[in-house]
Every structure is written in C-alpha cells, then in structure tokens.
Amino acid sequence: MLKPVPSDLAHLRQHIATLDGSLHASGALPFGVDAIDRHLPGGGLALGAVHEIAGRDGGGVDAAAAALFAAGIAARTHGQILWCVTQSDLFAPGLAQVGLTPDRVIYVEARDEKSVLACCEEGLRHGGVTAVVGEVAKLSMMVSRRLQLAAEAFGTLGLIVRRWKQERGAADYGQPTAATTRWRISATPSAPLPVAGIGRARWHLELLRCKGGHSAEFDVEACDGKTCLALAAPLVHRPAQASDAQLRAAS
Amino acid sequence: MHSCAPPPEGPLILKGTDGRRRVVVAVDRAARQAGLYPGMALTKAQALVAGLAIHDADPKADRDGLERLAQWALRTFSPLVAVDPPDGLVMDVTGAAHLKGGEAALLDGLIQALAAQGIEARAALAGTWGAAHALARFGPGSSVITAPGEEDKCLPGLPIAALRLPGDTVHSLSLLGFQIVGDLAAQPRAPLVHRFGPDIARRLDQLFGRLNEPLDPVHLPDITEVTRVFAEPIGAPETLARYTGKLTAQICDRLDSKNLGATQLDLMFHRVDNRIEAVRIGMARPVRDAARLTRLLCDRLETVDPGFGVERMRLVATGAEPLALAQSSTLDTPGDTAGAGLSSLIDTLSNRIGAERIYRLSPAESDVPERCAHRLSPLAIENTQADIWPQHWPRPVRLFARPEPITTLGLLPDYPPRAFTWRGARHQVIAADGPERIFGEWWKRDPEIHAVRDYFRVETEAGARYWLFRSGDGEGHRTGTRGWFMHGVFA
C-alpha cells in the first residue's frame, strides 16, 4: 500500500479548508493577540470577506466602540479605506489616534441605508480600496450575500458596523446573515490606575459567529496608536496591578 | 472700458420703437427707482429724469448674448437648455440635478454663478416650462422651488401676464376684468377661444401640465457628439443599454482621434412625442474608457422614461479635456496610488449619490473640535498628515454635531462632575481626566474673544467613556455660561 506523503496531506487539508470556507484564498489579517487569532480559522480575520460588528446597545457608547474596533482593523490593512455612513458623526482625530490617518479614508455620506450598502458593494467590487466600512441598522441575508460574494471576488475586507436606535435593532442583529464573522462589543470599566484618571479603555469582545470556527469571548484593551488590541489582565492570569505596571513600563 | 459707457450709478434706459412711438424698452435699477418702466414713452421718461443715459436697444445682440448664456448653462448645469426670449433660459434638470447636489443646490449655484458674471437673475423650478416661467418672473422670491402637486395651489394666484400671451391680449383681458390666472382658468373655454383664439387655452394647459411642451435645446459648436437614429422606436431597457454601449464606443473613438478624454457626457433620448429625456454623468478626471463610461451611463438609465419609444439617441461630450496616453505597468498594485486607481470608483459613487457627498477630511489649523477638519475632494492629494491634531489628548470616536446640554452635580471651578444626567438617564462618574482648556478663536471671530471650554474625559460606573465640557472657565460669566455639555463618545 502506498503511504501518503505528509506534504500531500497538508495540501489536501488546505484544499478542503478552502472548500468549506474556513480558510480564505485572500489570506487573513491577524489581530496580533494570540488568544484571539487562535480562535479564527486561518489565524486571523479573513480578508476577502464581510464581517459584522455591533455594540451591545446599538446606539450609544458601545456603537462608538464598534466603530473604533472597525477602524483599528481597517487601519491594519495597507491602502485606502472607504467609509460609508448615513450621518457623519465620526470624529477624524479620534480615528487618527488608532492609526487610521486622514489621508487613507474616503468618506461617503449616502442618503439612506440602501445606498450605503450599494456604495459598500461598489467599493468591494472595485478592488482599489483595501477595506470598506459601512454603518447600517439593517442587513438582510440577500444583501449580505451580495457583499460577501463581492468581497470574495476581489479580496477586499468588508466591515459592516451595525448601529440602531430602537430596541428592534437588537433583535435584527440575531437574524442570520452571510457574514463570515460576527462580533459584539461592549465597553467595560478601564484598567485601574494608581492615580486619579482613566486608564486604557477595555472592551468585552464577543465572537458570536465564526464560519469554520467556534464562538468565543475575550476581555481586551482597546486599540492603541499602533492599532493593536491587547488582552486585558484577568484573562492572562496575572494580578491586575502587576500587568498595569508592566504595561506602563513597556510604554 | 468703452469711452461712451455711462456712469454706473446714473439711471440708464434702452430705447426702441413700438410702431411709430419711441418707447423705453429696458430700465436699470436706478431708472426704476426714479419711476421709469419699460413701455413708457421715451419723451415722458426724458421729461421725468434729468441726465438720463439713453442707448439704442439691440435685440439681435441681446438674443446672441442669451444664446451664449444658454451654451454656458449647457456646459455647466443641465444637458437640456433652451432660450426663452427675450430674457429667459429654460432648462430641463431632470437627469442632471444629482451632480449639483439636488435641486435647491442647483438653483442656488445657478443664481450665484450668474451673479458672478454680473447678471441679476431670478430662478424657479417647477413641473412644467410654463409654471417655471411664470414663477421665475412673478413668484415670491428670487429662487422658487415647487414640490410636485403644490403647483395647483400657487399658480392660480399669479397675474395674467405670467401666461406668455401677447401684450394686447393681456391688455384686453384686463379690460374685461381678468386679473389673475385663477379667474381665467375658471372661465368656460368656448367664449374665450371665440374672442381671443386658441392661445389662451393652450397656455393654460401648458401651465398646468395638461399639454406637452417640447424644448428646442441649444447646441454647442465644435463639440464631439454621436447620434443614432432608429427606424423603429426602441423602449426596452436592455435595448437602450445596448445602444448606449455602441454610442459610447463610437464617441470614445472620436475622442481618441482628438487625444481628448471626456469629463462630462450627456446622453439624450429623443422620444416619439418630441420630448427629450437626458442623462448626464460627470467624471473627476478625463476618461476615454468605453467600458467604464458605458457603466456610468447605464447606472443612470433607470431614470429615463422612454414613453412610447425613443427614435433618436444622441451622446455629447459637453466636457472634454486633453488626455495623453499613459504608460501602465503590471507591477502597479491596486490601492497603491490614491489617484489613478480610485478615480473610477469615485466617479461611480459620485454619479450615484452626488459628488459633494464623497470627501476626505483634512486637518485644519483649529483647536475647536467642530472646526478641526475640512472636507476635500477625494482625489485631492494635499498635506493630509494628521500631525496637527493632538496626539497626547485622547479624542472621541463620535462627535455630536451640536453639543447636548446635560445637568451635572460637581464642584466648581476645576473639578469634573460627580454625576450627570444625559438624555434622561443618570450616570455616576467614577474616574475623570481633565480639564483640557480650549479657547475661542478670537483672531477669527469677534464673539469668541473671551470664550473658553474646559473639556473632561469621564468614565461612568457602567464603563462608558464620554467627552464633556463646561462652557466658561468656571469663575466668570464672561467666558461662558458655566453650563455643561456632552460633546462626544469614546470607545
């Protein structure tokens, strides 16, 4: 009997992974945090795919966290970003502080959500931008499928930030879409400081859905100037004070 | 300046003849204030105002000037422009308003652009030529826009003169006691037609949109255009799209032979009922790529109503700029250059939602958060480095366009609030950073000479982080009201 060569096996595994969607042809964008990257097939957020991000409360503070999370991811790609919104309440200096400099972002202010999604699809299909961010309340299965196909075909990263005003939006977020991963973010109290003031922001990050992977939860520290997340102290089994001391020493 | 030019502040009139009478044809603002009006006898005007500057009216030159103005408007504002002599232009802006950011913006832009050329204009936008003509001349303001369906309310109150009838008909009607359009419209038609001919009924129907009134648009000389005439009228969307593609390929060949690229294309559909439907697309940079132009045009085809069929299609390059052949390399990676790769995406999006809705934010030299960025065209490669934005002070992700007032509990003058109520919910503050003092820009705006804002970053017990500020320095009333405001949300 012929013994299979190990390299053939690896090749076959990779081929199967591409077929079942757990590995993307365009590669992946690692977060640089091992605990998160381990959970994602391909070792990072799949490029050439659509990802959904929402804050826990949809409209207020957590939605800002969702936008910043998206900005942090988009900033780690190398190229121009298209950011489609219906209301322009983004504050560019805030985005610049997580590494998304103004020379890289093109804002599109559409009249309604339908045209936001159309512009997103156009951006994903074009291939000239490396990431497209769209802010909408509703995302239907059909539209998300279109976006996903466009993203796959051109290897562009699509990020849909879901924000809503009414409670109904939260129920909508439970509806299935064709997005590859789905995240939910809530802001949690920041890292304690020995002096008065506010430490580095912390988020509770829930990976609700992940194609070819399992859902998971993480406690992280928010994006910094180099767009990197970091694990919050409790998850790495260290006393909070010690980790903060180390962080300060490192900074 | 011409040696015989009249002094600009003195009254000026133009004279002409009406039969054997010598009459005033046109008056300027100073002359109107002196009580002169078009149509009065010249001798009477001379008797009323001393030192009156009188020139001969030149209707032919006026007509030529109007024609030139129409050509300018055709290039700038709308694919369908016709002259409406003696003193008007009429445009069909159906397929073109999106490029100027909507109908109101188009009308404002038009009035401003004419004012820049020294022409004081009034404009109106309505559902029919007749209504727009009437409202521009007799409407309430210098710029009037009527919503569809609203015309029936505002048109009947207009004077008879708004109906584009000959002067003697208007005069006879006023002798009969008709003052406004509504009076005339309420009358039975037959006696009016019997006495004045069919004109009144026709003008009334045109005014209210019951009768179609085709435009005879002006043409631009020396322009690249291609036409296709159909033996049988076409109307199916896919047929229109197919011939759009064929015409685009033809015009690209023409442009190629002239070394030009199109920056603006008008596609006109001449319908069998003499109406012209038009579509206009604009490009950020000159383009000669047939596939790309076809796509941009076909995106707009859904706005075209072919009616009973289209018998002729015309594609005109109303804007064209030199476009040399550029060398391309397979080593170019998409997204590498901000300009070349992106301009097609920008074109597609701006033709869909309007060019002013796509922008970059560039840092502006201002510490006031609302003014620290200004919008640039997406293809502008300016110094967009973020260096002048503060790095050491955290900035929120979302900023409210208007700071929202909150009620707070806290110590004055320098402490952050201990608790605040925002949008009906009470938040307990557990940590805060600040204050960051931002002064008003007294060197630009006088009212801000003493203005001060103290910004605080606060964290509530739920873990939410907000950007609050207190108006004023907390001591004197001169620097602000001491009210607290919510201005942004941190992640």
Selecting from B336, B358, B461 the residue whose C-beta is nearest the C-beta of A106 gives: B358
Closest CA to B284 of B375, B349, B358, B346: B346
Whether A247 has a pLDDT exceeding 70, the answer reads no
pLDDT band at A243 (very low <50, low <70, confident <90, very high): very low
**How distant is the Cα of A112 from the closest Cα of chain B, in angstroms?**
10
* CB-closest option in B378, B465, B489 to A106: B378
With CB atoms and an 8 Å threshold, state whether B349 touches A122. Answer: yes
Contact across the interface for A94 and B488, Cβ inside 8 Å:
yes
Residue A250 pLDDT > 50, yes or no? no
Chain B residues whose CB is inside 8 A of the A93 CB are 363, 369, 372-373, 386, 389-390, 395
Mind listing the pLDDT tens digit for each residue in A60-78?
677 888 898 999 899 888 8
Convert the pLDDT of each residue in A143-190 to its tens digit. Answer: 999 999 999 888 899 999 988 877 777 777 878 899 999 999 988 888
In chain A, residues with a C-beta closer than 8 Å to the C-beta of B378 are 106
What percentage of chain B exceeds 70 in pLDDT?
A: 94
What's the whole-number mean pLDDT along residues B413-436?
86
Which of A91, A109, A193 has the CB atom closest to B395's CB atom? A91
Comparing B464 with B380, the larger pLDDT belongs to B464
β-partners of residue B313 are B228, B269
SS3 B82: strand
The two tokens of residue B178 are 């008709």
State the nearest Cα–Cα gap between B79 and chain A, in angstroms: 24
Site from B397, B466, B487 to mutate, A interface, most A CB atoms within 10 angstroms: B397
Alpha-carbon gap, residue A143 to A146, rounded angstroms: 5
Report the pLDDT averaged over residues B462-484. Answer: 83
> What is the reported pLDDT for B338?
41
Cα(A240)–Cα(B61) distance, integer angstroms: 86
pLDDT digits (tens, 9 = 90+) for B127-175: 888 899 998 888 888 888 888 878 788 888 888 888 888 888 888 998 9
* Closest-CA distance of chain B to residue A111, Å: 8
The Cα B283–Cα A24 span in angstroms is 35
Report how far residue B133's alpha carbon sits from residue B125's, in angstroms, rounded to the nearest whole number. Answer: 9
In which residue are the tokens 């593609």 written? B245
DSSP codes of every residue in B310-354 = EEEEEEEEEEEEE-------TTPPTTSSTTTTTHHHHHHHHHHH-
Give me the residue from A80, A94, A186 closest to B396, CB to CB: A94
Smallest CA–CA distance from B393 into chain A, residue: A97
pLDDT band at A244 (very low <50, low <70, confident <90, very high): very low
Query: Partners of B267 in the beta sheet?
Result: B279, B315
Burial of A249 (0-12, 13-18, 19+ CB in 10 A): exposed
CA distance B431 to chain A (A): 6
Question: Rounded to 5 degrees, what are φ and ψ at B208?
Answer: -90, 5
Q: Which residues from chain A sit within 8 angstroms of residue B336, using beta carbons?
A: 79
Please name every residue paired with B453 in a beta bridge, in sequence order, or none if there are none: B438, B471
The tokens for B334 are 């998409």
Please check the confidence at residue B264 and state whether its pLDDT lies above 60. yes
pLDDT in tens, B76-90: 888 889 998 888 899
Question: Identity (one letter) of the amino acid at B464?
Answer: A
pLDDT at residue B59 is higher than 90: no
Query: Considering only CA atoms, which of B411, B431, B410 is closest in space to residue B490?
Result: B431
Supply the ipTM of this predicted assembly: 0.81
Confidence (pLDDT) at A236: 46
